Chain A
Amino acid sequence: MDLDELKHQLRNKLATDHAGMSDADIAALLTKKTDSVIGRIKRNLRIEIICSIAVILGFGAVGIFSGYSSLRIYFSVFAVVCIFFLILLIYLLRRTTRLSSTALPVRGNLQTIVHIIEEFTKRYFQFTMALVPICFVFSLWLGLSEKQQDAGGNGFDFRHYIVRWQAVSLLVAYMAALGVGVYFFTKWYLKKQFGRYVGLLKECIKELGE
């Protein structure tokens, strides 16, 4: 006996192996939170949008009102970078919302989800890595420059600070180690969050294409 012959019985078995839901049960389900990955991405994006707005406002305020020029430059640059990130987050949220409100064919749906996750992780990674030079090199340069000006000098003179080469070497090594650490931690974090899931979805896409 094959699938065709068993069609009717199988259909009945699949349809009857459950307890029926009332209108009230279904209405109650509509108030619950979604547990899908797309739902989680949307929640993450919303939280990051709120955080980005807070950072832009806070850093922007420091950038405008601080009495130190180095702080003004440093926080303004941070705020500008966050504005670009905010635009990207809003774009991704809109795409994700559009996806969850349309019923695409299975293959198209899978491809869109994979594209959104890959775009999100790629930009997240780029943003995190872009912050490393800003945080270290930029802040170091501005800090030194400010110190020089406070001491009554005419701007930043790098030679003045290479007196103790051991200290500079240590600082460079620390920055490099932290930069590498951030690089691998971000890679690991994103892979842990979405890596396995994207892999499974890609397998499904590949299977559909075979």
Chain B
Amino acid sequence: MPSEKEFITLLNQHQKIVHKVCNLYMDRHSDREDLFQEVTLQAWKAYGNFRGDAKFSTWLYRVALNTAITFFRKEKRQPDIYSTDNVPEQSEEEQGPVEEQVKAMYAAIGELSKIDKAIVMLYLEDYSYNEIGDMMGITANNVAVKMNRIKTKLKESTQQQMAN
């Protein structure tokens, strides 16, 4: 029987992972909260089978991404795309070119498919192509091909956003 206290402590230490996934997959604040709750519940249900072969963070990524990819809102009032509204507002003096580029890139990532978002998420966390492949259930070569396509898509999309 897994210890609830132990799980809560571990999840609290790694909650940034869940927040990252929720921020990446959900546009609205209420949807993020729902997804956070769902990931927490799914992680708790699966925790009994966590044997510690992998790091807790890697395992939590897998659970969180599985939950986020299969999580669809029944009543969808708006498309699941990432708007630049998610990024905290800053004054024009504060908003340097780097900040603007981050904002544009952030919005561009939001327009990717659920699968591409998961790959980008893991790439941003410095997982190797082999590790990403293991988590996604595809080969490292496939990850590399997809990552190249994603980079091209993001570059084009970011340039377009910056031009507007």
By a beta-carbon cutoff of 8 Å, the part of chain A in contact with chain B is: 1-3, 6-7, 9-11, 13-15, 17-18, 20-23, 26-27, 29-30, 32, 34-39, 100-110, 113, 197, 200-201, 204, 207-209
A110 to B69, CA, bound (A): 9
- The residues of B that contact A105 with a CB separation of less than 8 Å are 62, 134-137
- The residues of B that contact A201 with a CB separation of less than 8 Å are 70
A18 to B24, CA, bound (A): 12
Known: A30-B41, A108-B137. A37 touches B19 (CB 8 A): no
- The residues of B that contact A20 with a CB separation of less than 8 Å are 15
- The residues of B that contact A207 with a CB separation of less than 8 Å are 113, 115-116
- The residues of B that contact A15 with a CB separation of less than 8 Å are 16, 19-20
The answer to whether B70 and A2 have CB atoms under 8 Å apart is: no
- The residues of A that contact B95 with a CB separation of less than 8 Å are none
- The residues of B that contact A208 with a CB separation of less than 8 Å are 115, 136-138, 142
A39 to B44, CA, bound (A): 14
Contact of B15 among A21, A35, A113 (CB under 8 A): A21
CB distance from B121 to the nearest CB of A (A): 8
- The residues of A that contact B114 with a CB separation of less than 8 Å are 204
- The residues of B that contact A209 with a CB separation of less than 8 Å are 138
Q: Return the chain B residue nearest A9 by Cβ.
A: B102
Known: A13-B102, A30-B40, A197-B72. A106 touches B154 (CB 8 A): no
15 pairs of residues in contact across A and B, judged by CB atoms under 8 Å: A3-B123, A6-B105, A17-B19, A18-B23, A18-B32, A23-B12, A30-B4, A30-B8, A34-B38, A36-B42, A101-B46, A103-B46, A106-B115, A207-B113, A207-B116
The answer to whether B8 and A26 have CB atoms under 8 Å apart is: yes
CB distance from B87 to the nearest CB of A (A): 7
The answer to whether B37 and A29 have CB atoms under 8 Å apart is: yes
User: Is the C-beta of B124 less than 8 angstroms from some C-beta in chain A?
Assistant: yes
The answer to whether B98 and A107 have CB atoms under 8 Å apart is: no
- The residues of B that contact A13 with a CB separation of less than 8 Å are 87, 102, 106
Known: A2-B154, A23-B8, A106-B69. A32 touches B37 (CB 8 A): yes
The answer to whether A36 and B67 have CB atoms under 8 Å apart is: yes
The answer to whether A11 and B86 have CB atoms under 8 Å apart is: no
CB distance from A62 to the nearest CB of B (A): 39
- CB under 8 Å from chain A, chain B span 29-44: 32, 34, 36-38, 40-42, 44
- The residues of A that contact B66 with a CB separation of less than 8 Å are 103-104, 106, 109
- The residues of A that contact B46 with a CB separation of less than 8 Å are 100-103
A102 to B53, CA, bound (A): 13
The answer to whether B105 and A3 have CB atoms under 8 Å apart is: yes
A39 to B125, CA, bound (A): 29
A179 to B114, CA, bound (A): 41
A95 to B124, CA, bound (A): 34
The answer to whether A107 and B136 have CB atoms under 8 Å apart is: yes
User: Is the C-beta of B81 less than 8 angstroms from some C-beta in chain A?
Assistant: no
- The residues of A that contact B38 with a CB separation of less than 8 Å are 34-36
